[in-house]
C-alpha cells in the first residue's frame, strides 16, 4: 500500500488553469506554509505536502481554495517512501495527476534535533539524512521529466550551519544539510539548461514550537537576538520572499541565498 493519499477540495480537471504548480514538502505550517501562501498570492496552484500535520494542511488548503477555487491540494506522505522505488513512482504520479503538471519543487521538509557525539545512533542518521538530503535528491530525480517539460525549477531549504559554521552537538544534521547544499550545486549542473536548482539558507527564521523538545527559553531567545545584526528573529515570510525571487530569476542557478539578518557574519561556529 502507498504511504500517501490525495486529499483536496473541489478539484475538477475541467477547471484546470494555466497557472504554474508548486509542490512544497512539509508545508502544513511554519516556513513551508509561508512559501505556499506567498506562491498562492502570486496566482500559482499549490500542493501542500504533509505527514503528521494533516489538520493544518487541510485548513490551509480550505482557506486558499475559498480565495480561488481548485487552487490548492493536500498530499499526505511519509517521505520514507523514497526508500521504495515503486512507492516513489506512485507518489510522483499522484502529484502530477493533481493538477496535470509540476513547475516548481521546493524541498522544505526536515527533521532537526541534536546528536551529541558518543550517542549517535543509526536511526538518527537515517532520519536526519532522509529528510535533509536523500529525499530531496530522489524526489528531484523522480520529478525531473515533469519539471523539464515545464522548464521549471527546484528550490532547497538549507541552513547557514551547512557551510563552514557547524552547529555544536548537531553533527548529523549539519552533515545532512551540507550534503543537500552540494546537491543544489551538483543538480544545477546536471539539470541545466532545462531546470534551475537553487537554495535558501535561513538563520533563525522561526523558533522551534513552544511545546516541542527543541523549545528555547526567553534567555536563549534573547541570546540569539543579540547575535543577529538585524536584532530580530527572522520571519517565515522573509524566506518565502527569497524562494519566490528564485522562482522568477530565470538566469540564476546553483546559487544559495542566505536569509539570516546577518547572523552568519557573527557566527564563530560552535555555540553561537
Ligand X SMILES: NC(=O)c1ccc[n+]([C@@H]2O[C@H](COP(=O)([O-])OP(=O)(O)OC[C@H]3O[C@@H](n4cnc5c(N)ncnc54)[C@H](OP(=O)(O)O)[C@@H]3O)[C@@H](O)[C@H]2O)c1
Point out which residues bind ligand X (CB under 6 A).
Answer: 26, 28-32, 50-53, 78-80, 108-112, 131, 157, 159, 202, 204-206
Q: Which of 63, 68, 51, 58 is nearest to 108 (CA)?
A: 51
Select 16 or 225, whichever has its Cβ closest to ligand X.
225
Residue 74's DSSP bridge partners are 7, 48
Shortest spacing between CB 205 and ligand X, in angstroms: 4
CB atoms within 10 A of CB 131: 25
Give the residue numbers marked as catalytic: 173
Q: Which helix (H) or strand (E) holds 64?
A: helix 54-67
Select 51 or 58, whichever has its Cβ closest to ligand X.
51
Shortest spacing between CB 78 and ligand X, in angstroms: 5
Give the per-residue SS3 of 9-46: CCCCHHHCCCCCEEEECCCCCHHHHHHHHHHHHCCCEE
CB atoms within 10 A of CB 97: 11
Residues contacting residue 219 through CB under 8 Å, at least 6 positions apart:
none
26 φ/ψ sector (left φ>0, alpha ψ -120 to 50, else beta):
left
Shortest spacing between CB 57 and ligand X, in angstroms: 7
Select 69 or 163, whichever has its Cβ closest to ligand X.
163
Shortest spacing between CB 202 and ligand X, in angstroms: 4
Select 11 or 82, whichever has its Cβ closest to ligand X.
82
Shortest spacing between CB 16 and ligand X, in angstroms: 26
Residues contacting residue 173 through CB under 8 Å, at least 6 positions apart:
111, 112, 113, 114, 115, 128, 132, 159, 161, 167
The residue of the chain with the least Cβ separation from ligand X equals: 26
Select 28 or 187, whichever has its Cβ closest to ligand X.
28
Amino acid at each position: 500500500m502507498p504511504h500517501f493519499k490525495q486529499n483536496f477540495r473541489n478539484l475538477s480537471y475541467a477547471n484546470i488553469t494555466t497557472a504554474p504548480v508548486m509542490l512544497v514538502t512539509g508545508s502544513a505550517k511554519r516556513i513551508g506554509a509561508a512559501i505556499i501562501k506567498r506562491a498562492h498570492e502570486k496566482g500559482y496552484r499549490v500542493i501542500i505536502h504533509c505527514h503528521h500535520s494533516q489538520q493544518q494542511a487541510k485548513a490551509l488548503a480550505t482557506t486558499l481554495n475559498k480565495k480561488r477555487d481548485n487552487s490548492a491540494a493536500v498530499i499526505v506522505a511519509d517521505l520514507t517512501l523514497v526508500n521504495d522505488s515503486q512507492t516513489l513512482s506512485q507518489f510522483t504520479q499522484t502529484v502530477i495527476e493533481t493538477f496535470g503538471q509540476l513547475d516548481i519543487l521546493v524541498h522544505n521538509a526536515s527533521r532537526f534535533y541534536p546528536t551529541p557525539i558518543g550517542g549517535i545512533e543509526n536511526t538518527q542518521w537515517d532520519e536526519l539524512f532522509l529528510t535533509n538530503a536523500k529525499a530531496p535528491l530522489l524526489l528531484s530525480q523522480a520529478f525531473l521529466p515533469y519539471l523539464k517539460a515545464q522548464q521549471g525549477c527546484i528550490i532547497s531549504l538549507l541552513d547557514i550551519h551547512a557551510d563552514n559554521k557547524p552547529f555544536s552537538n548537531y553533527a548529523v544534521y549539519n552533515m545532512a544539510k551540507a550534503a543537500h547544499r552540494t546537491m543544489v550545486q551538483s543538480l544545477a549542473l546536471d539539470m541545466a539548461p532545462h531546470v534551475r536548482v537553487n537554495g535558501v539558507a535561513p538563520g533563525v527564521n522561526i523558533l522551534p514550537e513552544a511545546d516541542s523538545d527543541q523549545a528555547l527559553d526567553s534567555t536563549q531567545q534573547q541570546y540569539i537576538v543579540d547575535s543577529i545584526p538585524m536584532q530580530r528573529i527572522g520571519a517565515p515570510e522573509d524566506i518565502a520572499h527569497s524562494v519566490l525571487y528564485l522562482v522568477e530569476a530565470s538566469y540564476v542557478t546553483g546559487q544559495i541565498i542566505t536569509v539570516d539578518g546577518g547572523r552568519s557574519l557573527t557566527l564563530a561556529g560552535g555555540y553561537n
